[in-house]
Amino acid sequence: MSQAKSENIPPQNTAQGENVVTVNYNGKSSVFPVLKGSMGDHVVDIRNLKKNLDLFTFDPGLGGTASCESKITYIDGDKGVLLYRGYPIAQLAEQSNFAEVSYLLLYGNLPTRQEYEVFVDRLNEHALLHEQIRNFFNGFRRDAHPMSILCGTVAGLSAFYPEGTDISNEASRDRSAINLIAKIPTLAAWAYKYSLGEPFVYPRSDYSYTENFLNMMFARPTEPYKVNPILSRALDRIFILHADHEQNASTSTVRLAGSTGAHPFACIAAGIAALWGPAHGGANEAVLKMLNAIGRKENIPSFIEKVKDKNSEVRLMGFGHRVYKNFDPRAQIMQSTCYEVLRELGVKKEPLLELAVELEERALKDDYFVERKLYPNVDFYSGIIFKAMGIPTSMFTVLFAVARTVGWVSQWKEAFDDPLRRIYRPRQHYTGPVERNMKTSYWL
């Protein structure tokens, strides 16, 4: 590829005065504009590649592809920067709360006090589920994974809100967004209660978003339950850290499903399904299982050797990231939150935390991890915090889903406002059989 002048793409799409990329192929030459974002890497606009040169790009895993334009979240993976609508994650985690961050992600700016109060009232009002949703839970085995319950009930909820299909209506899209953010903690807490065989606890308007979730998880009719403000604050911060992360696998799934015009609840159910995998949101559960399997510090060296062995398929869970090639800024806040929670709970010695710290230290000194720029990610410490809070391992990814719903919904909404919106329809690099003819079948 070489640099030359732009053609084919309307001038308003080209970065003014910026470079273009020329592709020479099969005796033809075509010029593609380089678009400049407000921050970060520039992108080559290859929309006319097929039309001009009869070529597609090949990018398995889409690691080199900007699949959409977005104004929501910015990541600089080399510097370890994460911004929501321009605000650094550390500032939001320190000075904001999850409801305010949800408003920011959804509507683009921090709310005024009045906007905040109206928003919180709306979330409270819609946290309640249709009473018939209770019946959905009875269809699941008591030992069902709560992610399968969450996925099923969120998709099922679409049947209660048929007007959600009216996606061309902005007010309807906004109602769906609020409904999803408001109801997901209730569904998540009920999935947990169902696994215990305990009565469901209803949402309450006098609690904050996170207090309400903790109350629905842990309150029981037999005894008073008081939400611990320090734990609630810690969980609220964890929710902020998980709220959005630009075009990751589950968000891309939501955008892809949304591009077909599907019901928003169904799109979020698709996102939940994608999040479940251990390479994505399921990693927090996998980290705890991994630490339990390692068991003792003496076993760390042999475990690291297994991770490095290309034939073993064992990975150091909670390490590595497609975008971060430096510290994941969320992991650092997560680690300090972990100490804060353990202090509050009076846990002087947590063997899993000690094991995790040692594992991290050793990995960060090991050439294998250094050369590949593998650092702890958001999931490395979150499981230890959840465990200390009394949350069972199978619920870890559910908590991630509760928080990420606001990101999914914001990205889904943004996609609808995008004038470039089209159905997602990638192409492929076909390497299967060339056309061939059938012989007479043996059964004829």
Judged by the rule CB under 6 A, the positions of this chain that interact with ligand CMC are 61, 245, 248, 279-281, 283, 307, 315-322, 372, 374, 377-379
Q: Half-sphere exposure of residue 159, counting CA atoms within 13 Å on the CB side? A: 8
In whole angstroms, give the CA distance from residue 318 to residue 307. 13
What is d(CA 331, CA 380) in angstroms, rounded to the nearest whole number? 7
Instruction: Please give the helix or strand (H or E) that residue 21 lies within, else none.
Output: strand 20-25
Tokens standing for residue 167: 């996606």
Nearest approach, Cβ of residue 321 and ligand CMC (Å): 5
Q: How long is the chain?
A: 444
Quote the least distance from Cβ 360 to ligand CMC, whole Å: 12
Which position's Cβ is nearest ligand CMC? 320
Nearer to ligand CMC, 111 or 329 (CB): 329
Give the whole-angstrom CA distance, residue 344 versus residue 105.
30
Question: What is the nearest approach in angstroms of ligand CMC to the Cβ of residue 396?
Answer: 12
* Residue with Cβ nearer ligand CMC (193 or 321): 321
Task: Answer whether 406's CB lies under 8 Å from 96's CB.
Answer: no
| Residue 267 in tokens | 């799109």
Q: Distance of CA 245 to CAs 70, 230, 256, 280, 356, Å? A: 12, 25, 16, 12, 24
- The first and second tokens of residue 395, run together, are 């619920």
**How far is the C-alpha of 183 from the C-alpha of 197, rounded, in Å?**
21
Active site residue 321: yes
The catalytically annotated residue of 244, 280, 321, 328 is 321
Output the smallest distance, CB 435 to ligand CMC, in A: 34
**Which CB, 122 or 306, lies closer to ligand CMC?**
306
In the complex, minimum distance from the CB of residue 86 to ligand CMC, in angstroms, rounded to a whole number: 21
Q: Is 366 a catalytic residue?
A: no
Dig out the tokens for 42 from the structure: 């520039």
* Closer CB to ligand CMC, 279 or 370, in the complex: 279
Catalytic residue among 379, 417, 418, 429: 379
User: Would you say 35 or 323 has its CB closer to ligand CMC?
Assistant: 323
Catalytic positions are 321, 379
